[in-house]
Amino acid sequence: MEERLFYRYLDHSITTVFLVSRSETGCLVYASLGSNRKELLKIAQLDFQKLTRKTKVSYGLYYDVNDSMLNLEQSFASYLDGSFTGAIPHEYIFGTRFQRKVWDELSKVKIGETTTYQTIAQAIGSPKACRAVGSAVGANRIAVIVPCHRCKPCDGSLGNFRWGTQLKNRLL
């Protein structure tokens, strides 16, 4: 059986965002950043193929312009503009239990603030797991909403970001 997922592109002044939601719930399950739409779709297809192999659930990506996706797109755009104060409904279909724990903690970091891998590790009760936290942050598949861009190394540098440090700096 296939789980239907809907996707749309959001063209924003900061970046293009590839949004994917569950057809059943309308919740955001994937958000990726970039400038090349074909590349964003290709990467998403590969990510969902890997997820299918891991979970044995088949995921179908369908371009759709339903009300739920339009609302999600508008909310995400407002979030990027800094004018959205609510929560964008999302759910995890990627990630291990540990990664999801890291993402939940990361989601507590407010707009305009940053944290470190060490702070996250301590908050989740694994103070020696800084590297594992860094890997979990890098495995996040719901960009911006789970704010991996707000996590930095302890040395205060910008650190890595899947979509480049220039974009990370703009998001901060």
The domain limits of the chain are: 2-81, 97-171
58, β-bridge pairs: 2
Mean pLDDT within 29-48:
96
- Active-site residue, from 27, 130, 148, 151: 148
User: Two tokens at 4?
Assistant: 């239907």
CATH architecture of 2-81: 2-Layer Sandwich (3.30)
Task: Assess whether the region 2-81 and the region 97-171 belong to the same CATH fold.
Answer: no
Q: What is the pLDDT of residue 143?
A: 94
Q: Which of 115, 96, 95, 98 is nearest to 107 (CA)?
A: 115
Burial of 98 (0-12, 13-18, 19+ CB in 10 A): middle
Q: What is the pLDDT of residue 169?
A: 81
| Paired sense of beta strands 151-152 and 58-63, if any | unpaired
pLDDT over 80 at 65, yes or no: no
DSSP helix/strand/coil, 159? coil
Mean pLDDT within 33-57:
96
pLDDT tens per residue across span 76-129: 999 899 888 788 999 999 999 999 999 999 999 988 899 999 999 999 999 999
**136: which DSSP letter?**
H
pLDDT over 90 at 170, yes or no: no
Q: What is the pLDDT of residue 25?
A: 92
Q: What span, in angstroms and rounded, lies between the C-alpha atoms of 6 and 63?
A: 6
Task: Note the pTM of the prediction, 2 decimals.
Answer: 0.92
User: Two tokens at 33?
Assistant: 């950043």
Mean pLDDT within 22-46:
95
Fold designation for 97-171: Arc Repressor Mutant, subunit A (1.10.10)
Which band of pLDDT confidence, cut at 50, 70 and 90, is reported for residue 166?
confident
3-state secondary structure labels for all residues of 88-124 = CCECCCCCCHHHHHHHHHHCCCCCCCCEEHHHHHHHC
Is 148 a known active-site residue? yes
User: Two tokens at 54?
Assistant: 């891991």
Q: What span, in angstroms and rounded, lies between the C-alpha atoms of 141 and 92?
A: 9
Neighbours of 15 (CB within 10 A): 20
Q: What span, in angstroms and rounded, lies between the C-alpha atoms of 110 and 61?
A: 31
